[in-house]
């Protein structure tokens, strides 16, 4: 399962900050990002996790998601174009186990994680 | 600067937040969600829900609505510009819906340093309840960068 996302714009980050309530200026204020020694703002990790959530709920009804866990392995620069990927690793005792990843065009893995789904997932 | 391990085990003040339908629609727009189940009550009902579902990661947003979200970081002397989200996990026990008022209670479960203090970690677990029923647990690990510790 894959979901290719549009390029993440500054507008996307502003909208996500407002909708999520995460107003950390490192994601929306270039001046603050520079004051911390960065060249630019970077995307909220939780925006990428929300994209992975969209990938999951587009394949299984949400009420079947038992758990959803990620590690944020690399920052997502503004203007990056991520792809959400989920791979079934096993089905056991009525549960389907998935490996999750978010990758950028240059191959950087920004999130890596797992999900457990009740029942099987239609291919 | 290492995080004082005394903080481990601390139960932080609870807060309650309502999953407002307008906010859920705004969130769906912000993440590019076009499945009408998340924005249209009729579509949600047709899918077997009694209202707009709270999407999988939105519980984290309601958690962030606590009255003073930076209080613990301030107390621990952590500069918000230095934090990175390390890990985030959700364990779900029941669906939450628009209109639900959810209560969030966080506990600091761990605090430790790596790489000689260049990275500090602060780990919390949050129980999410609705009328006393546990509907989800959130697991959160924050990373604090201390580049000067390497010098």
A71: Cβ contacts below 8 Å, ≥ 6 apart:
A111, A112, A113, B86, B87
Q: How far apart are CA B91 and CA A83, in angstroms?
A: 24
Q: Could you tell me if B46 lies within 8 Å of chain A, comparing CB atoms?
A: no
- State whether B23 and A19 contact (CB < 8 Å): yes
Assess if residue A123 is contained within a domain: no
> B91: which strand partners?
A67, B137
Q: Could you tell me which chain B residue has the CA closest to the CA of A63?
A: B95
**How close does chain B come to A69, measured CA to CA in Å?**
4
Query: How confident is the model over B97-131, as pLDDT tens digits?
Result: 999 999 999 999 999 999 888 999 999 999 999 99
- What is the count of structural domains for chain A? 1
- State whether A53 and B56 contact (CB < 8 Å): yes
Q: At what angle do helices A45-57 and A10-20 cross, to 10 degrees?
A: 80
Most confident of A17-26, B70-79, B97-106: B97-106
Q: At what angle do helices A10-20 and B21-30 cross, to 10 degrees?
A: 160
Does the global pTM surpass 0.90? yes
Q: Could you tell me if A4 lies within 8 Å of chain B, comparing CB atoms?
A: no
* Domain segments of chain B as ranges: 5-149
Q: What share of chain B has pLDDT > 90, as a percent?
A: 78
Chain mean pLDDT for chain B: 94
> B138: which strand partners?
B90, B126
Query: How confident is the model over B20-44, as pLDDT tens digits?
Result: 999 999 999 999 999 999 999 999 9
Structural domain harbouring A96: 2-118
Q: What share of chain A has pLDDT > 70, as a percent?
A: 99
pLDDT at residue A123, as a whole number: 58
Nearest to B142, CA basis, from B64, B66, B30, B68? B64
Mean pLDDT of B52-63: 97
CATH of residue A10 = 3.10.129.10
Q: Could you tell me which chain A residue has the CA closest to the CA of B22?
A: A19
Place of tokens 């009902």: B45
Place of tokens 């009804």: A61
Query: How confident is the model over A31-89, as pLDDT tens digits?
Result: 999 998 999 999 999 999 999 999 999 999 999 999 999 999 999 999 999 999 999 99
**How close does chain B come to A68, measured CA to CA in Å?**
5
Tell me the chain B residues in contact with residue A55 when contact means C-beta distances shorter than 8 Å.
none
Q: How far apart are CA B2 and CA B41, in angstroms?
A: 48
Assess if residue A110 is contained within a domain: yes
Mean pLDDT of A22-35: 92
CATH architecture of the domain B5-149 equals: Roll (3.10)
- State whether A46 and B30 contact (CB < 8 Å): no
In whole angstroms, how far apart are CA A5 and each of A60, A80, A107, B58, B113?
A: 19, 10, 15, 19, 35
- State whether B85 and A46 contact (CB < 8 Å): yes
In this complex, the residue of A16, A57, A69 whose CB is nearest that of residue B30 is: A16
Q: Could you tell me which chain A residue has the CA closest to the CA of B92?
A: A66
């Amino acid at each position: 399962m894959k979901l290719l996302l549009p390029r993440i714009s500054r507008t996307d980050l502003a909208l996500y900050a407002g909708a999520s309530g995460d107003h950390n200026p490192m994601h929306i204020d270039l001046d603050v990002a520079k004051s911390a020694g960065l060249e630019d703002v970077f995307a909220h990790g939780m925006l990428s996790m929300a994209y992975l959530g969209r990938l999951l709920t587009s394949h299984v009804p949400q009420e079947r998601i038992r758990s959803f866990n990620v590690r944020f392995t690399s920052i997502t620069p503004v203007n990056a174009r991520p792809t959400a990927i989920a791979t079934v690793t096993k089905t056991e005792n009525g549960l389907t186990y998935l490996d999750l990843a978010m990758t950028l065009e240059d191959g950087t893995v920004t999130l890596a994680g797992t999900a457990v789904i009740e029942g099987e997932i239609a291919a | 600067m290492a995080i004082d391990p005394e903080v481990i085990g601390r139960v932080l003040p609870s807060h309650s937040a309502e999953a407002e339908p307008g906010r859920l629609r705004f969130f769906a727009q912000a993440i590019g969600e076009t499945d009408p189940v998340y924005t249209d009550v009729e579509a949600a009902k047709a899918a077997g829900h009694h209202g707009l579902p709270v999407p999988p990661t939105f519980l984290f947003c309601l958690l962030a609505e606590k009255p003073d979200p930076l209080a613990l970081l301030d107390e621990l002397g952590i500069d918000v510009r230095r934090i990175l989200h390390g890990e985030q996990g959700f364990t779900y026990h029941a669906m939450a819906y628009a209109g639900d008022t959810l209560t969030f209670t966080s506990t600091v479960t761990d605090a430790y340093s790596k790489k000689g203090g260049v990275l500090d970690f602060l780990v919390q677990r949050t129980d999410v309840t609705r009328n006393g029923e546990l509907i989800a647990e959130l697991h959160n690990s924050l990373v604090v960068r201390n580049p000067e510790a390497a010098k």
